[in-house]
Structures are given as C-alpha cells and as structure tokens.
Structure 1
Amino acid sequence: MRLNGEISSGEEEEEEEEEEAAEAEEEKQAGTTTSPSPHKVVVGYALTSKKKKSFLQPTFTALARNKGIYFIAVDVNKPLPEQGPFDVILHKLSGEEWREIIEDYRQKHPEVTVLDPPDSIQHLHNRQSMLQDVVDLNLTDCHGKVGIPRQLVITKEKDPSTIPYEVTKAGMKLPLVAKPLVVDGSAKSHELFLAYDEFSLSELEPPLVLQEFVNHGGLLFKIYIVGEAIKVVRRFSLPNISKRELSKVAGVFRFPRVSCAAASADDADLDPNIAEHPPRPLLERLARELRHRLGLRLFNIDMIREYGTKDVFYVIDINYFPGKVWKNARI
C-alpha cells in the first residue's frame, strides 16, 4: 500500500527498511523488559521518516519505556486491525487512502485513542478555516485580547493581476504577509512572502492568504498543546517595519519558515515588555476552547503580541503535531 509518496522507492526504500528492522528489534527488546509501571501502554505510530527522526528521539523513547509506554511502528502495508493491540494510534501521514483507513479503524475501535481524528486534522490544512475558530472565540475576562490579523483569501481562480485591486477593495494596509492557502506538509505550503507595495502583489501565485503585517517586536510565541498540558517557547521572528522603511522599500520578499528556522529566543536578553509570556489564564482558556472547537489534542499555536501593547495578541498559524512537540510533552 502506497500513501501519497510517503512510502519511497529505490535507495530511500532500502534505507527505510533498515530503519524499520532496527525499530522492530528495539521494540522486541523493549517488550521483554520489565516495566516499573503497573500498566503497559502501547502506542502504534504511523509517521513519515522525517517525523520519526524528529519525534522518536532515543532520550524520549527511553523515558517513555521507563514509564511503561512503548512505541510500536505501524506497518502501512498490512491491515491495521490485524496489528496491535494498541492503546493509542499516533499518526501523521498524508493521502485520502490513509485518511479512510484510520477513520474506519477509529469507528470500529472506539476503545483506542486516535491522535487525532482525520477530519479534525484536515481542518488545519486550510489557513482560512483554521483561523476562523479563533475569530469566533469570545475570550472575555481573560487578561487579554486574542484575534487574528486582517486577512484576505485569494482563490486559485483569481488572476494574479487583480490582486492589487482586491487588496484595495478590502481596505487592507501594507505591508502584507502572503502564505499559501493550503497546508499539505510540503515545503512550498510553508513559504512566506512579505509584500511592501500593492503593485508587486501581482507577482504572487494564488491560492493564498494575505494577512496584514502586525509589528510584534520581532518575537513569536509558540504555544505547544498536548492534551491539557501547555508549554510556551519564544522564537525570533520578522522585525518591526516602520512607516519610513515602508516608504522606501518595494517588492515582494521571500522568507524561510520563520518560526522553525529562527533560533530560540528563550535565553536572549530581551525587552521584558516584548518577551513577557502571554498571561497563563488567557493561554489556558484559548487552549481549552481550541481543543473543543478543533477536536485536536496535539497541536501548536503561533501567536504574536502587538508591539507597544501588553495584552493584545494575534494568532497567525495553527499546526497539527508540530516537529518539536516531544521536547515539550510531559510523560
């Protein structure tokens, strides 16, 4: 069974077979080890090679085994019901075929916790729908305000030459951050552009989302949510843009995936007015509401604080099963 290119061929396939053989031997050894935990929890995982390398770090799996939690690779070439038994299924594979397999398994095995339901994950594959749940929130009396930047969706059917007109019609202010509308896990879906003038907008390729750039002191908060646990880390982001700079710069500039490529800002000597974490009550309420609305238990929120304010925050992205979540999980 091949799932949208997740199962490779040639040298990559041989490499994966070697990795799986090593994993199987490790799991066999783990199964013969007496666990100090009174209850053994078996987690079946179906992940891309990249995700396995970033998530299943030796220190993490060793800690898990010590707690009686065992990670077992799911063989995507065999029927899922014939494997296990599992207490939890942890997955991040693409493709409609896999989506149907895991949804069917979830319906027939309600006793198994599936992280997370395919339809809920799919909701985050569209940047318009993912942030709508934030718009609909009413976080009153939570020590702050949470919203999203003003944004405009440019569909695939739109002629790029009409984008400047659409932006003017919507009354949006420059500069604008441009992101692909669809989030499919590819590198292209995480490309980020900053447009300084409306004429350069016609260089962009729909479908995409345009967001007004909000000055935020060059700092981004990544809020990791694992069940009810919340962990906040700081990352350097795009610097503030002054009106003077805006008047002198033109064009569209491409940036890397800022929140992942940037260095950690947790140990940097920063202005406390910028670096102070969002209030805990606000984060707890936001996480609780989004868990309920999204139907997810394993995700992260990218949030910024509007520069010059203490309690005005914007959610700019939501990601399912982020790459560094294992470092922030509590076992």
Structure 2
Amino acid sequence: MLEGVANLNLSDCYGKVGVPRQVVITKDPSSILDAVSKAGLTLPLVAKPLVVDGSAKSHELSLAYDQFSLSKLDPPLVLQEFVNHGGVLFKVYIVGETIKVVRRFSLPDVNKCELLNGAGVFRFPRVSCAAASADDADLDPVVAELPPRPLLERLAIELRRRLGLRLFNIDMIREHGTRDRFYVIDINYFPGYGKMPGYEHIFTDFLLSLVQSKYKRRLTAKAAGAEMFFDLQASGGCSKSSTCALNRPCT
C-alpha cells in the first residue's frame, strides 16, 4: 500500500512526504543480499514481517547493521531503509473524515559511530504497537512537533481515494534535522483503535454518518423517481399498462 504514497505530490501542503526505499523478500535468506544490492538499499535496514498474524513474532522489528547479518533474517519480510527520526513516530488515525494524531516512542537514531562499529541483527518489539505514548514526554520541540494539519488532511484524502479505505492508520516519521520532510513507513487497514484518544465518540459519529448518508441517498433516489413519475404523467407518456420509475404499476 505504500506505493500509493510514493507517487503523491504534496509539496504545496507545508511539507514533503515520501517512503523509505524498500524491497520485499519472499525467498530463502540467501537471496537477501543480492536483492538488497539490486535495490540499492543503504544500511542499516529495518526488517518487518510480511505476514502479521497476531503472534508476538509477527510484530517484531529487526535492525540489520551489516551485510553479513542479512542472511540471519527470516523471510518473508520487508526490508526498509532506516531513517533517523529523533525516536518519535506519529501514528495518524483516520476514521472517515476524522484525523487524530498520537506521538509514540520509536527506534532511537543511529549515529555514524554505531553504524561503523555495529554488527549483527537487533530485534525490537513493533514500536507502533507500543502502549507508551510520547505525548506527555519532555521532548525536543522540533522532534515533537506534529505534522502540519493541511499535509495530513491532503494525505488522508488522497489515500482514501487511492486505497478505497475509510478506516486505516498511517505510521509517519519526520527525518531528523528537518521540519518538513516526512516519511510514511507503514499503512494499516482497519487497525486497533483502542489507543486512540476519544475513539468511542469518534467511532460512534463515524457509524452514525454512514447511516445518515445511506438514508439521504435513499431519499434522493425516491425523490428522483417521484419527479420522473410526475413528468411522465404530465407528458401523457404514462399508461395503465406501464411500470413507472417508482417500480410499481400505474393506476
């Protein structure tokens, strides 16, 4: 689903949104190094399980620092370039027309020294599922600043249109050292909303809006049918043997 983000042009919305370069690995571990090389990915790489089945392992993240460690990973998985982002992730919940953003702690930045001296694969719980919120933490204001509202609204509109979804969330990060460079690192369709503040009222309003929208469509269809019926009568085109726009025999 991230392909839908990569092609968006949101430069007029107070920020730029991209997707870290990535590659999908479905074969045996020995194919990983060659696939990474062909895709031109730069270390370190975040490894995410391709299939999420609810188990603890399916929610694990791995960070691979060197080429030799890549063969230790267990496909099927997605390998994504790691982008330093100040250790903060923005979880953007989208429920119909409503957008709610929550800060969450994420993987810490990787400095050059760690990259040069680091080796192996480090495993972490999936940070986007963590219960701890970063909203009340004492963070650098530049790191903690939420993405611009116009950017989120435009992104939500485009993704709703491209994906055909009304319920989903986006995991976003801001590239460390910038204020307007964002990356979407994951999109979850129909995710859990229990960690979204005020989800009860938001969900109730969303379901109510669906019912109201369906009711209005029915009223509009009936009104259009009635108008057509009266137009036929006025023009003398309706006979007792015909069936009118209201789908009932004429009397």
Q: Is the pair's TM-score, using the shorter chain for normalization, greater than 0.5? A: yes
Instruction: Find 1:285's aligned residue among 145, 150, 154.
Output: 154
In structure 2, relative to structure 1, the CA distance for the partners of 1:328 and 1:318 (3 Å cut) is: farther
The CA distance in 1 between the partners of 2:89 and 2:52, in whole Å, is 20
- 1:305 matched to 2:165: no
**What pairs with 1:7-22 in structure 2 (closer than 5 Å)?**
none
Cα deviation 1:49-95 (Å, max 9, x = unaligned): xxxxxxxxxxxxxxxxxxxxxxxxxxxxxxxxxxxxxxxxxxxxxxx
Q: Secondary structure at the match of 2:186?
A: strand
Partner of 2:17: 146
Equivalent runs, 1:1-331 vs 2, <5 Å:
130-155=1-26, 158-261=27-130, 263-325=132-194, 327-329=197-199, 330=202, 331=205
Note the C-alpha offset of 1:144: 0.5
Tell me the C-alpha RMSD between the 2 structures: 1.5
1:299 Cα deviation from its structure 2 partner: 1.2
Instruction: Find the aligned partners of 1:172 and 1:208 in 2 and give their Cα distance.
Output: 15
Gaps of 5+ in 2: 206-251
- Counterpart AA for 2:177: G
CA contact (8 A) 2:104 2:134 kept: yes
Tell me, in whole angstroms, the C-alpha distance in 1 between the residues paired with 2:56 and 2:188. Answer: 14
Percent identity reads: 77
Q: What amino acid is aligned across from residue 108 of structure 2 in structure 1?
A: P
Q: Which digits, 9 at most, give the CA deviation of each residue in 1:97-139, with x for residues without a partner?
A: xxxxxxxxxxxxxxxxxxxxxxxxxxxxxxxxx1111112222
Count of equivalent residues: 200
Whole-Å Cα distance in 2 between the matches of residues 137 and 321 of structure 1?
22
Cα separation, partners in 2 of 1:237 and 1:262, compared to 1, 3 Å: farther
- Partners of 1:248 and 1:263 lie apart in 2 by 30
Q: TM-score w.r.t. structure 2 length? A: 0.75
State the Cα distance separating 1:201 from its structure 2 match. 0.3
- How far did 1:230 drift? 0.5
- Find the aligned partners of 2:174 and 2:66 in 1 and give their Cα distance: 24
Q: Which has the larger radius of gyration?
A: 2
CA–CA distance in 2 between the matches of 1:321 and 1:159?
30
- Give the residue type in structure 2 aligned to 1:305: R
Distance (Å, rounded) in 2 between the aligned partners of 1:296 and 1:177: 26
Change (3 A) 1:232 1:188: same
Aligned-residue offset at 1:247 = 1.2
- In the superposition, relative to structure 1, how do residues 328 and 149 fare at CA in structure 2: closer, same or farther (>3 Å)? farther
Decide which moves more: 273-282 or 246-255.
246-255
Q: Distance in 1 between matches of 2:168 and 2:28?
A: 34
Which structure exhibits the higher relative contact order, with contacts defined as CA atoms closer than 8 Å and separated by 6 or more residues? 2
Residues 154, 209 of structure 1: 8 Å contact kept? yes
Summarize deviations over 1:193-224 as a string: whole Å, max 9, x none: 11011101001111111000000000000001
Write out per-residue CA displacement over residues 244-297 of structure 1, whole angstroms, 9 at most, x where no aligned residue.
011111101111011222511101111111100000000000011111111111
Looking at structure 2, the residues matched to 239 and 206 of structure 1 have their Cα atoms a distance apart, in angstroms, of: 24
Equivalent position SS for 1:264: coil
Partner secondary structure for residue 211 of structure 1:
strand
